[in-house]
Amino acid sequence: MTTIDDFRRETQAWLEANCPPSMRTPMPDGELVWGGRTVEFKTEDQRLWFEHMRDKGWFCPDWPAEYGGGGLSPEQNAVLESEMRRLHCRPPQINLGIWMLGPVVLEFGSEEQKRELITPMARGEIRWCQGFSEPNAGSDLASLKTSAVDAGDHFLVNGTKIWTSYGDKSDWMYMLVRTDANVPKQQGISLLVVDMKSPGIEARPIDLISGRSSFCQVFFDNVKVPKRQLVGPLNGGWTLAKALLQHERRAMSKFGEFSLPNHVDLLSVAARYLPPADAASTADVALRTRALAMAMDEHAYTLTAQRMGEEARARQDVSGLMAIMKLVHSEQEKDKLEVLLDVMGHRALGWEDEAFDSSELALTRAWLGSFAQTIAGGSSEVQLNVIAKRVLGLPEGKQGK
């Protein structure tokens, strides 16, 4: 029997041998690898790292080996995570399916579904997208209207989903549909998985204020979905949706521990665009002070992500911490970019031209893009409701259910 120390030694050796050195560097923008039918690699090392981890079953290290997972115990998984952090290993791939749908299928899916869905997922063969929001069901997700009508051996799906990230590039979608319109809204929802190649599906990218985006609106016109693609009980989808969103928060929080691309260092931007201290006006000093306070708050957030990781590994309850992370991060990013805009003046207002350098143009887009972050994935107001009610236990108000 191998002890956890043996496992740590073996894992170290394996990572040293199988993670190419270039995959142990901070990931530049645009170098995320998305698993799927048409996975694309920018470098040979990306491909190697992807294949080694896939063949080891370590895309999903703690999933059962019989479905293609790594079969690791929670302790072993924690060791693997800590060793990957120590070596600065990049995530070998990003896949919504593994983060969100997988754990729910493992918990609620049938044996047949586990074999059909989990195994290719664990090998990074399918790129998944999410169909939750609709034009008239945003924060009030349960009011969704896209319908799935019983048509014998299949459902007939009609309606539209919006804010689906990479809807045009994904292979399959997991989606919430209305299967009963005559009961309280949470009780008539089901979870389906759908092949995006099915006839009747069209995904259209959405232009945002920041330009072309990964968000799509997806239209369903009499799409046939075989009944075996219903996950969990009919009309039991709301429970699964809540579980999915919890996995999302957990995944997002783990992601926060990696160094993310696009990180702009406030203080170096301030140093570049503001005059030196001996030539600074009162306004320059005030701007610099705002940039500093913002950088310090950002530092406190980074430390909070680190603390959450440590507390989770020490088996402490981190549900309260998890509830604040998305709220704080997205609001901070918005504030930070506004400070940067003020520091950079018109240099941060370029749209497309050689008059601006690429980092300036990227900052403008990041600022415009930041507005979506406090809306998508549960708006800040929804996050605050969750904290108030579930974490602080404040009483339910009179607002609608």
Applying CB under 8 A, the residues found at the interface with other proteins are 265, 267-268, 271-272, 288-289, 292-293, 295-297, 299-301, 303-304, 306-307, 310-311, 314, 316, 320-321, 324, 327-328, 381, 383-385, 387-389, 391-399
Closer to other proteins by CB, 300 or 355: give it: 300
**CB of 108: closest distance to other proteins in angstroms?**
30
Whole-number minimum distance, CB 61 to other proteins, in Å? Answer: 24
Cα three-residue angle 216-221-227, rounded to 5 degrees: 100
Type and span of the H or E element at 305? helix 282-313
Q: What share of the chain is helix, strand, coil (3-state, %, to 5)?
A: 50, 15, 35
Beta strand pairing call for 128-131 and 172-178: parallel
Q: Single out the catalytic residue among 248, 257, 338, 360.
A: 248
Distance CA 105, CA 97 (A): 10
CB of 100 to other proteins, least distance (A): 24
The question of whether 248 is a catalytic residue gets the answer: yes
Q: Which is nearer to other proteins, 43 or 359 (CB)?
A: 359
CA distance 16 to 348: 42
Alpha helices in 184-281 (DSSP H): 237-255, 266-273
Our CB check for other proteins shows the closer of 32 and 328 to be: 328
DSSP three-state, residue 259? coil
The candidate with the shortest Cα–Cα distance to 98, out of 256, 254, 248, 312, is: 248
Classify strands 154-165 and 172-178 as parallel, antiparallel or unpaired.
Answer: unpaired
Maximum distance among all Cα pairs of the chain, rounded to whole angstroms = 79
> Among residues 37 and 272, whose Cβ is nearest to other proteins?
272
Which structure tokens are listed for 68? 């293609």
CA distance 368 to 210: 5
Cα-to-chain-centroid distance, residue 324: 16
- Dihedrals phi, psi of 378, to nearest 5 degrees: 95, 105
Smaller CB separation from other proteins, 161 or 336: 336
> How far is residue 289 from each of residues 13, 170, 176, 269, measured CA to CA in Å?
47, 44, 47, 13
Shortest distance in whole angstroms from residue 259 CB to other proteins: 14
- Which residue, 13 or 267, is less far from other proteins as judged by CB? 267
Q: Report, in Å, the least distance between residue 391 CB and other proteins.
A: 7
* Nearest distance from C-beta of residue 307 to other proteins, angstroms: 4
| C-beta closer to other proteins: residue 30 or 395 | 395
Tokens representing residue 19 in the block: 């993670």
Q: How far is the CB of 328 from other proteins (least distance, A)?
A: 5
Residue 240: Cβ-neighbour burial (10 angstroms; 0-12, 13-18, 19+) = buried
Contact 368, 333 (CB under 8 A): no
CB 367 within 8 A of CB 341: yes
- 79 or 144, CB closer to other proteins? 79
Output the smallest distance, CB 324 to other proteins, in A: 4
**Burial of 122 per CB tally in 10 Å (0-12, 13-18, 19+):** buried
Nearest to 213 by CA among 253, 248, 169: 169
User: Which residues are the active-site residues?
Assistant: 248
